[in-house]
């Protein structure tokens, strides 16, 4: 994994210490999404990409269970806007060289989450939110670092909303406040009363 000495403007990172915390982080992000967008997810096997997408899909109003699309390449869910969940892990080069027609979703009329996007960089648009997840171990046990690198105004706005929206308790656990379901009026505001 690339070592990052400096952070670019708008870039952020946060730490989670359980699957639930990563799901919640995804939910906060998904809850704020207002328009079609591409979100790429990279990180080793089992780092938590699908867990994050599961949360984000819930934040986007998907009620179906989100499962890994690694065998089928793409799963589609109905949310406030359509949710396209790609996984390019098993994509072989022959398939990649053929036109699979994925460009129409990148972006299309919905939010496209792309796991293992680095396996097919050619079809990823410049404007996107790039997420990299790293596993770490320390005195507190196992955790994940989520790097959020916005490329474009909408994803910059989303990252700043996410960072404003998550807080930690003194014991280091994420404050998992209930989320108000997204509406045009509240723009996906965080709150107690839902
Ligand atoms: N802080 C954490 N955040 C997310 N997942 C965690 C965390 N701690 C432990 N886990 C576990 O790590 C696993 C993450 O699995 P997940 O399927 O999301 O990974 P993935 O990155 O999508 O892998 P793949 O590349 O195979 O698709 C789950 O079993 C989850 O319970
Ligand atoms: Mg996965």
3-state secondary structure of 187: coil
| Residue 148: pLDDT over 90 | yes
Question: How many Å apart are CA 15 and CA 119, to the nearest integer?
Answer: 25
Question: How many Å apart are CA 40 and CA 130, to the nearest integer?
Answer: 5
What is the residue with the minimal CA distance to atom 18 of ligand 1? 48
Query: Could you report the per-residue pLDDT of 5-31, keeping only the tens digit for each?
Result: 566 678 999 999 999 999 999 999 999
- Which atom belonging to ligand 1 lies closest to the Cα atom of 144? 1
Pocket of ligand 1, candidates 17, 39, 51: which has the most ligand atoms within 8 Å of its Cβ, to mutate? 51
Q: How confident is the model at residue 103, as a pLDDT? A: 85
CA of 51 to the centre of ligand 1 (A): 6
Query: Could you report the per-residue pLDDT of 36-54, keeping only the tens digit for each?
Result: 999 999 999 999 999 999 9
Q: How confident is the model at residue 44, as a pLDDT? A: 96
Question: How many Å apart are CA 87 and CA 150, to the nearest integer?
Answer: 20
- The token pair at 179 is 């989320």
Q: How confident is the model at residue 10, as a pLDDT? A: 86
- The token pair at 117 is 């996007």
CA dihedral 58→26→148→121, nearest 10 degrees, is -50
Residue indicated by tokens 């045009």: 184
Q: Where are the domains of the chain?
A: 21-105+122-165
- Which atom belonging to ligand 1 lies closest to the Cα atom of 18? 1
- The larger pLDDT score, comparing residue 2 to residue 137, is at 137
Question: How many Å apart are CA 158 and CA 39, to the nearest integer?
Answer: 11
- The token pair at 172 is 């280091």
Nearest ligand to the C-alpha atom of residue 18? 1
* Nearest alpha carbon to residue 117 among 141, 85, 154, 160: 85
Q: How confident is the model at residue 1, as a pLDDT? A: 44
* Domain formed by 21-105+122-165, architecture: 3-Layer(aba) Sandwich (3.40)
With bands split at pLDDT 50, 70 and 90, how would you rate the model's confidence at 194?
very low
Instruction: Over range 69-94, report the average pLDDT.
Output: 88
Q: Which residues pair with 129 in a beta bridge?
A: 39, 150
| Residue 192: pLDDT over 60 | no
Residues framing ligand 1 (Cβ under 6 A) = 16-19, 21-22, 43, 45-51, 68, 70, 89, 115, 142-144
In the DSSP assignment, the letter for residue 144 is E
Give CA 115 to chain center in angstroms.
9
| Residue 62: pLDDT over 90 | yes
Nearest ligand to the C-alpha atom of residue 133? 1
Q: What are the C-alpha distances in Å from 117 to residues 50, 97, 144, 171?
A: 13, 15, 19, 35
pTM, entire model: 0.91
């Amino acid at each position: 994994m690339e070592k990052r000495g400096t952070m670019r403007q708008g870039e952020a990172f946060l730490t989670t210490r359980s699957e639930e915390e990563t799901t919640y982080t995804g939910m906060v992000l998904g809850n704020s999404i207002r328009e079609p967008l591409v979100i790429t997810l990279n990180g080793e096997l089992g780092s938590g990409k699908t867990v994050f997408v599961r949360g984000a899909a819930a934040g986007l109003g998907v009620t179906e269970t989100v499962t890994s699309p690694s065998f089928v390449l793409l799963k589609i869910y109905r949310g406030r806007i359509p949710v396209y969940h790609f996984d390019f892990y098993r994509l072989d080069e022959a398939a990649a060289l053929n036109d699979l027609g994925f460009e129409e979703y990148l972006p299309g009329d919905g939010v496209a989450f792309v796991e293992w996007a680095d396996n097919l960089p050619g079809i990823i648009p410049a404007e996107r939110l790039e997420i990299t997840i790293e596993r770490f171990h320390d005195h507190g046990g196992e955790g994940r670092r989520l790097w959020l690198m916005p490329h474009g105004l909408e994803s910059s706005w989303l990252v700043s909303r996410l960072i404003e929206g998550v807080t930690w308790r003194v014991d280091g656990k994420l404050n998992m406040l209930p989320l108000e379901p997204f509406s045009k009026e509240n723009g996906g505001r965080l709150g107690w009363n839902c």
